[in-house]
Amino acid sequence: MSVNRYNYAMLKSQSLLPRRRMLQLLDETGRQPMDFTLYIKAGTAAGEIEKELAKALDRGMVFDEIVEKAALSSTGAVIFYGRGRALVIWPPFPLKENGLSGGFDGERLKKEIEREPLIGLVLVRLGQYAVGIFRGEEMVEGKAGTGLVHARHHKGGSSANRFARHREKQMEYFFTRVEQHSRELLEGHIREIDYFFYGGARDTLHRLWRQCLFFKKLEDKKVDRLLSLREPRRSNLRDAATEALSSRVFELIE
């Protein structure tokens, strides 16, 4: 029998929690009464999420909110529900199986968060890049570099066309440089890397992926969420790794 609740819901909070804080939240949540726990594997369409959730919860506003939030995640979702409160959690790495259980069942998520996977990072913005390998939050290797790419020329005429061709050559050389240094750092670890993350503007990364064939070797390990990016420097790689290992949490209340 599914839980019958009111027909309204509110997003109380959302946050990105690093591993230690996420484990604390699991401990806190486990001490509270929960009606059910639902695991949704990565890549599950909204219609399938609805079918799974309908086994435990009646349709209504909170139902719709849970489905919406879970469907937006590229890594799947874990839903804890009890006494009119729902937590929808996007785990750091893709979940591989669905699962519904009564009460609180955080053990599977806890094991995922406590893992120390080998992760690769490539952070890129035009003119700067950083590449790193981490075992959990400990850096194994890392390097960074720069390359000259002029800003866009907004004036028209033949000079603008020459500038555009020159800038295109700069970009081509820059991405070749990123690929070369990424290959030097990552190629020897491809079989060992568990997950791979990118950071930067999506259009910049699309150009990188189109031009640089090396990154196709990492496609099956890529986690499809972009890391936030200020400056792609070696000193910022550790912050990027912390973000890669973090979980996003949405709290819904009725």
Is position 249 within any domain?
no
The tokens for 175 are 């991405």
Is residue 134 domain-shared with residue 228, that is, in the same domain? yes
Decide if 119 contacts 194 (C-beta within 8 A): yes
For residues 137 and 75, membership in a common domain is answered with no
Is residue 3 included in any domain, yes or no? no
Examine the domain organization and report whether 135 and 153 are in the same domain.
yes
Crossing angle for the helix pair 61-71 and 46-54, to the nearest 10 degrees: 140
**70 and 21 share a domain?**
yes
Same domain membership, residue 149 and residue 228? yes
User: Over the chain (254 residues), what is each successive 10-residue block's mean pLDDT?
Assistant: 49 89 97 96 97 93 92 97 94 96 96 95 92 96 79 56 71 89 94 95 92 94 90 92 96 89
Q: Which residues 6+ apart lie within 8 Å of 182 measured at CB?
A: 122, 131, 212, 214, 215
Domain, as residue range, for 199:
118-244
Number of domains in the chain: 2
* Residues 88 and 169 occupy one common structural domain: no
Picking from 65, 83, 115, the residue at the C-terminal end of a domain is 115
140/107 same-domain check: no
Q: How far apart are CA 134 and CA 129, in angstroms?
A: 17
Same domain, 134 and 79: no
- The pLDDT score that the predictor gives to residue 4 is 46
Residue 73 and residue 134 in one domain:
no
